[in-house]
Structure 1
Amino acid sequence: MKFSSTFASTFFVLFCCYLGVDSAVLGIDYGADTFKVALANPGRPMDIVLNRDSKRKTPSALYIKGYERLFGSDAVSVSGKRPENTLLEAKSILGASYDDKIADSYRRKYGHKMLRTGDGSIVFDLGLKDNRYLSVQDIIAMQLRHALELVKESEKINAKDAIVSIPSHFGQFERQAMKDAIEISGVNPLGLINDGSSVALNFAMGKEFTANPVTHMFVDMGAASTVVTVAQFKSKLTKVKGVSKNITVVDNVGYASDETLGGSEMDNRLREFIISKFEAAKKDEMKKSVRDNKRAMARALKEANRIKTILTVNSEVHANLESFHEDIDFSLKVTKSDFEKLIDDLASHFANTIEKSLKLTKMSKDAISSVIIAGGGSRVPYMIRKLSDIFGKEKISRNINADEAGVIGSVFRAAGMSSQFRVKDIRLRDSYGYAIQASYEEESSGLFGKSSPVKNLILPKFSTIGVKRILSTTRKTDFTIDFESETEDGFELFATASISGVPDAIKKNDESLVLNPKPEIEVSYTLNKFGIFEVTGANAVFNMTNTAYPEYLVDLKKWNKEQADIAKASKSAKEASKSSSSDSESSAETASESSAESEAESPNDSKSKVPKSRPMPTEQKEFITKRIPLRVRYTLTKSNALTSSDIKSSTNIIKRIEISEENSRILSTAKNNLESFIYKLKYFVEEDATIEVTNETQRKELLAASSEAAEWLDNNSELEKPALYDEQRKKLEFIYNPVAERLNYYKSISTKMDDITEFKRQLADTEKSLVEFSGDNAKWFNKETTDPKFIPEIEEVEKLKIELAEKVEKIDNFVSFFNKSIDGADKSISPEIPLTDFDKAIEAAKGPMTKLQNKFLHLIIKIQAAKEDLESLSSKSASSETASSESSSAEVESSASESSDADADDDDEQKSPEARDIVHDEL
């Protein structure tokens, strides 16, 4: 069963209240072929950020020429025409040097103008202004920065805190390069995460585990490489803020990778298949080799990717390449069988990678509970079959979103690191795939002793990222440590640490107090949040005699004696108090005097005899440990780390490009606005409605202005000042606007007339209601028969009716005058009466009408209430008379009648307000 990433994140993530956009975090899965961005924003479920094409993933492509850039699908679309300026799969050479095999393969595949720097790094000459070259870090930084822009455009927030997933096989150089790229981009990195770990996190989000560890394998076949990760999952009872709770523990036990096994290699082989077929079929028609045609090779690679995608679901596909090379058209049918033959040997790579992962993690196939597939390779049926051959179909699982598991796992990790989110408690142990050992010369002993080399494996393979450890050795002299990282051929030196200041530290101590002549040297090191090794400090540690210890013993002995004296004095005081009480029984008078003296003197005597207690002396140890900081100079022997000035320079060039792009956008907008206005004016003149409100001279003037502006634009299209284009557009608007206003004027007349008609209809409805109600209640509207208290309001209604009639008459007069003014008027001239006069006329009458409606409504409510009061009083009187006639006593009858009348009056007073409320609600 497949679970969507949105469902998993919605089900398992409980967000806290909204705390502002700054609390939002990102997960970025930057792949060689595409990248995806996921957002966690308080109050909303985690989900993928859509790009400008409303797609969930964006091609990792960048086109750049001069200061013009295109990203994503826009860059891919021009890659066939401008291959020399389009950079694809930059991630595959991140951290590589110019002489590496992967760099050579990249040059042959894409043919870019790649240059070597002084330290052997890679830069590209893409024809930028000022002869500026771009590093791989610059290219990736631009794409990461583009990812932030997509978040801002799609979600309207400025989120920068992010976890970025990287291939598990990235070593020190690749991780350093990614760190630099992230810093240039403006992303605030919360850390890096191995892609296998991010997929495992996503898997754990939707599962519950027991205390017994269960092992799963994650096969991630991406565009540039395949990584096989072995991870264990279990539930653990632990205390969180003093409360016991079950947490999920995800342990990235280890992994194996193959950087030659991926979708990119399949594309390359398909391209070679297309080229070889083309050469065989069209060799007599070609003058030059197609392999020297960069555009043709780029088009063939693009077509190969399309063919691969289609063959994942279809049995065959036709490749069609028009004017492929030297205007030669070429078409080719490619079957699934052809494709599988091309990649048949990759199956052995696949099996070897899986076997290697089991061997490195010391696991057997039987220990693997299931095999979860992730990455784009999950869509290649051939590879799925090979995987089933190894483990059996029953162990192959697809219960995660293969494309999005990595990025959702990354954003989940980011949310878990932020205090603004409350997520499922999953503890991840991410691991580093290369062992690191330290080598140094052991200090010689004796006068003629020789130093001997020491090698310590300070970080075994798959050590925990974020771990902090200490390397310890005993010596009196300064020394240097060489740090070596694991490679395919053994260990290779990558950094040194010079530790100095040991003799000076020794001199700072009294030799008579030092127990160990040779101090223990502690060198602290770590794998930081990027998985980059670094030495964080060093100390000389001395075990010494504590000079304060003898004094502490003497003081402690004295304190113990003081405590014994205090206890003894306290006991004596209590006994004296008891003795005073017994003497009081001898005689009343004597006892009274004695008791008074005892009460007065006993407390003072007791206080004087019991010494005051003091705190126990602070505990001292006989021996103490003293740490003295040493000087550390940590140097990378082969570093690709950018300096602060390099990063600043890269940041500045990106900002300059962005400013140039913004200026180009403003210029383009100004040009387009002018051009579109010219065309608009041209067709505007020919419209019937325009002809009706213009004369021949005016139309010729409009056409002349349009032609003049078009000619100006043709002659000045290279100008780079937006203000000049805006100036020409404003000239056209100056001629166009009066005509457009007249056109709008005459189009709006019918609407204004409708407004007046609607107003008069509402007025007629009001008057009709007034007439009907006053007719039904004539006696209440007759000043001679109505209640005197209603007379002022009836007069007010009459007055408002007269006022309103006057206003309506004015409206009618205005409409009559307006109709006469436009009847036979020259529409090419601006009309004398503005349309706003319609609104003024209506607004002048609206006030009295609203007053009339309100006053009428108020009067209706009062009259209705008064009528109900009379009806209630009449009903009570009738009941009173009936009770009186049936009574046996006239006096009682009279009393009952008076009582009934009084009750009726009370009831009337109580019910009248209720009756009024009911009437008011109904109205």
Structure 2
Amino acid sequence: MSPGVPFDVLLDKSSKRKILSTVGWKKDDRLFGSDAFNIAGRFPTDSFSSLKYLQAAPYDSPAVSFYTSISTADILPTARNTVALKRSDGTEWSVEELIAMQLAYVRELAESAAGEKVSDVILTVPPYYTQHERDAVVDAVEVAGMRTLALIHDGTAVAVNYAMTRAFAEQPEYHIIYDAGASSIRASVAAFSAIPADAKSSKKDIATAIAIKGIGYDRSTGGTELDRRLREILVNDFVKKHKKDIRADKRGMAKLWKEAGRVKAILSANADAMASVESIAFDIDYRSKISRSEFETACKDLQLKFAKPIFDALSNAGLSLDNITSVILTGGSSRAPMIQTAVKAAVGESKIALNVNADEAAVLGAALHGAGLSRQFKTKDIRITDIAPYDIQVSYHSEAKSEYSKPRTINTLVFPAGSKFGSRKTLTFRRKDDFSLKVIYKNTPVPGYPTDLLEVEISDIPEALKNLTEAGATDPVVKATLVLSESGFVTVQDAVAYGEIKDDSIAGKLKGFFGAGSSSSTEAETERETMARSESVSTSAEGEVPSQAEATPEKKAPVKDTIPLGLNVKLSSVPPMSVSQKRTARERLQAIDRAEASMRRREEARNSLEGYLYRVRDLLEEEGETPFRKCSKEAERDTMKEKLEETLSWLHEHGDDADTRDYISRRTALESVATSNPLL
């Protein structure tokens, strides 16, 4: 999105609208998209695809095991116990660095199209992404040298795209966004309605409200899993025909992976397809006929999984199919006949809608949402409300009643699954000493992933309570505010010691008499108002005050009854990249960029020299009364010819080893001889 630039999808350097999420190397040349994907058959350990599976994945998790079953890349653990990938030359790259390269490539395309620098980015992520995975996405953006404006869920972005050209009534209209992508299948129940743009204004401007009511997903089912099963058919067929195990041959497996994707696309529109790979392995040319029925039989156990996210989303939203206007299909795998058949059987063919671009709806919706966050653009007023996919709770130890008693662990649910993004909750504690809060998922979100998000040490409590007590506060408490951001990150925003201080002066008594109220009474009113809009946390324990939801102003002037406390945040067992790690990674990428820019300048200088040499040679070899001969003397042409032959000889003998300055100096020397001729 840029002022004056048409609102459309970026084209890559080959003018293609769809760019594969792949980065690779052909020796020293770094490639992206389909170019990087296609070299896997020749350089199987230098082409890296499907990196989404590895974002923030612990090295020993099932996600990494699945990745090794679909990829020929070599993996190894990082210092953070995540995954790095190793090239054939031994160079190691973290997942964040490889994704950052892809983001930097897209930025280059954007800057070329817009004619200006691009620094801000908005990205779509699956709604099931954990905080660890969201951290990994943002880390990759920062390593690429950009700033994340926001993260938006895939289904929500498609909903924005759907609402771009449509109007809705005040009564909510429910649609299901069914997204069958490469890595998973997701379903989001979205409510579309019209609301006043400004409730306080007398103008009757209308805004479109999109509220996500429920989500469902299956992380193990998607286009990649279909490709894996189809490749397994090809592998078994090859072994059966040729009595050789191709699984040990990385080049052969990479070639079969590419062929499986091609055959799957053909089977989407045909009953059978011919698989053909020349010199696949062992000097064998492989050919085989694959039928759609054979493929669907291999995926029979997935049939029930295809539609399950729809019913999970409906259950989470508290709705039924009768409330749904349509099921909007999106994602490349939604074109697969077996997936369409399963969805139609589940919801009825009359509810199926194909009215968004399956490949581009998410990115166009995200771009429009990003433009709405900026003041540079005037866009349709679309307001979104998204929800958290998992239960998030805080865990802490109660204060021991004596030195011999064992403190109990108390778990308090703060943001239940389905909580709105942008919510805040304030927890109130009766504590006398410093203590720690752990923010964790109530249940394991993904097999092999940790549940801990962060741990916060709240300090300076005894001194703060002492100061409040000396100031006349009665029964001071500790308050900690947690925030669930619009991008799905949970943080502990602040912690304070608070105590109501009575003002016994005449002015204070008059203030209380006439209803102005103290700071604590104002706070209580705010608590009641917010609790009506957001579910409060009712978990309580002996010695603790029940947690309550309350609004926290963005800017709160310091008052004498509130004292800020110290916060020391410790990261989870799978921490995001540190500042120094991101700086080092950015420097590595910048070094590659400089080397590639130098290589491009060298090639441009060489091409420029060669082009000039051939132009001079053609002019010298022309016969007859040509304009060049009329504008030059015989002696000048002889000098030029001698210099030309000298330069051509140098280029033939030393051109491959020369640097950019050598090419430029050689052309400059030849041009100095030809300066008297206007044609040169």
CA distance in 1, matches of 2:289, 2:353: 33
* Aligned 8 A contact 1:184 1:647 in 2: yes
CA distance in 1, matches of 2:569, 2:415: 17
- Partner residue, 1:522: 479
Deviates more, 1:264-273 or 1:688-697: 688-697
- Partner residue, 1:30: none
- Partner residue, 1:721: 659
1:115 aligns with 2:76: yes
User: Where in structure 2 are there 5+ consecutive unaligned residues?
Assistant: 524-560
CA distance in 1, matches of 2:512, 2:570: 51
Deviations 1:393-412 (A, max 9, x none): 00001111221110111111
1:668 aligns with 2:603: yes
Task: Choose the corresponding residue for 2:432, options 462, 469, 476.
Answer: 476
1:176 aligns with 2:135: yes
Task: Choose the corresponding residue for 2:497, options 540, 560, 580.
Answer: 540
- Partner residue, 1:96: 57
1:160 aligns with 2:160: no
1:368-387 correspondence runs (5 A) = 368-387=324-343
- Partner residue, 2:41: 80
Task: Choose the corresponding residue for 1:269, options 229, 239, 258.
Answer: 229
- Partner letter of residue 73 of structure 1? S
Q: Cα offset for 1:679?
A: 4.7
CA distance in 1, matches of 2:189, 2:510: 62
1:513 aligns with 2:472: yes
Q: Cα offset for 1:708?
A: 4.3
- Partner residue, 1:627: 562
- Partner residue, 1:504: 463
CA distance in 2, matches of 1:299, 1:535: 49
- Partner letter of residue 712 of structure 1? W
Task: Choose the corresponding residue for 1:63, options 17, 24, 28.
Answer: 24
User: Structure 1 residues 627 and 331, CA, compared in 2 at 3 Å: closer, same or farther?
Assistant: same
Deviates more, 1:693-702 or 1:167-176: 693-702
Deviates more, 1:481-490 or 1:358-367: 481-490
CA distance in 1, matches of 2:439, 2:291: 52
CA distance in 2, matches of 1:686, 1:275: 60
Greater RCO between the two (CA within 8 Å, min separation 6)? Answer: 2
User: Structure 1 residues 294 and 720, CA, compared in 2 at 3 Å: closer, same or farther?
Assistant: farther
CA distance in 2, matches of 1:242, 1:110: 57
User: Structure 1 residues 730 and 512, CA, compared in 2 at 3 Å: closer, same or farther?
Assistant: closer
Deviations 1:706-740 (A, max 9, x none): 554344223323424212223334455566777x7
CA distance in 1, matches of 2:177, 2:571: 34
* Aligned 8 A contact 1:546 1:622 in 2: no
Q: Cα offset for 1:181?
A: 0.6
SS of corresponding position for 1:234: strand
User: Structure 1 residues 290 and 453, CA, compared in 2 at 3 Å: closer, same or farther?
Assistant: closer
Deviations 1:190-217 (A, max 9, x none): 1100111111111122222222222211
Q: Cα offset for 1:46?
A: 2.3
Task: Choose the corresponding residue for 1:640, options 565, 569, 575.
Answer: 575
* Aligned 8 A contact 2:72 2:253 in 1: no
- Partner residue, 1:312: 268
Q: Cα offset for 1:304?
A: 1.5
1:361 aligns with 2:339: no
Q: Cα offset for 1:390?
A: 0.5
1:246 aligns with 2:206: yes
SS of corresponding position for 1:208: coil
TM-score (norm 2): 0.86
Task: Choose the corresponding residue for 2:195, options 232, 236, 241.
Answer: 236
Among the aligned pairs, what percent are the same residue? 31
User: Structure 1 residues 680 and 480, CA, compared in 2 at 3 Å: closer, same or farther?
Assistant: same
SS of corresponding position for 1:50: coil
Deviations 1:247-282 (A, max 9, x none): 222111121211221111222222222222222222
- Partner residue, 2:217: 257
User: Structure 1 residues 635 and 689, CA, compared in 2 at 3 Å: closer, same or farther?
Assistant: farther
1:348 aligns with 2:286: no
1:432 aligns with 2:388: yes
Deviations 1:618-662 (A, max 9, x none): 967598782121112221231331111111111111111111111
Task: Choose the corresponding residue for 2:590, options 632, 647, 655.
Answer: 655
Deviates more, 1:441-450 or 1:93-102: 441-450
CA distance in 1, matches of 2:582, 2:184: 28
SS of corresponding position for 2:378: strand
User: Structure 1 residues 712 and 197, CA, compared in 2 at 3 Å: closer, same or farther?
Assistant: same
Q: Cα offset for 1:677?
A: 4.3
CA distance in 2, matches of 1:618, 1:241: 26
1:185 aligns with 2:141: no
CA distance in 1, matches of 2:462, 2:252: 68
TM-score (norm 1): 0.64
- Partner residue, 1:591: none
1:564-713 correspondence runs (5 A) = 621=518, 626-680=561-615, 685-689=620-624, 693=629, 708-713=646-651
Q: Cα offset for 1:239?
A: 2.8
SS of corresponding position for 1:387: helix
* Aligned 8 A contact 1:495 1:636 in 2: yes
User: Structure 1 residues 737 and 239, CA, compared in 2 at 3 Å: closer, same or farther?
Assistant: closer
CA distance in 2, matches of 1:555, 1:393: 67
* Aligned 8 A contact 2:26 2:43 in 1: no
* Aligned 8 A contact 2:434 2:461 in 1: yes
CA distance in 1, matches of 2:92, 2:81: 14
Q: Cα offset for 1:335?
A: 2.9
Q: Cα offset for 1:104?
A: 2.0
CA distance in 1, matches of 2:366, 2:516: 50
CA distance in 2, matches of 1:323, 1:301: 15
SS of corresponding position for 1:660: helix
SS of corresponding position for 1:495: strand
Q: Cα offset for 1:425?
A: 1.9
User: Where in structure 1 are there 5+ consecutive unaligned residues?
Assistant: 1-38, 558-616, 746-923
* Aligned 8 A contact 2:511 2:517 in 1: no
CA distance in 2, matches of 1:555, 1:648: 55
* Aligned 8 A contact 2:393 2:412 in 1: yes
Deviations 1:124-156 (A, max 9, x none): 22267xx75311111111111111110111232
User: Structure 1 residues 281 and 690, CA, compared in 2 at 3 Å: closer, same or farther?
Assistant: farther
Deviations 1:858-884 (A, max 9, x none): xxxxxxxxxxxxxxxxxxxxxxxxxxx
CA distance in 2, matches of 1:664, 1:532: 41
SS of corresponding position for 1:659: helix
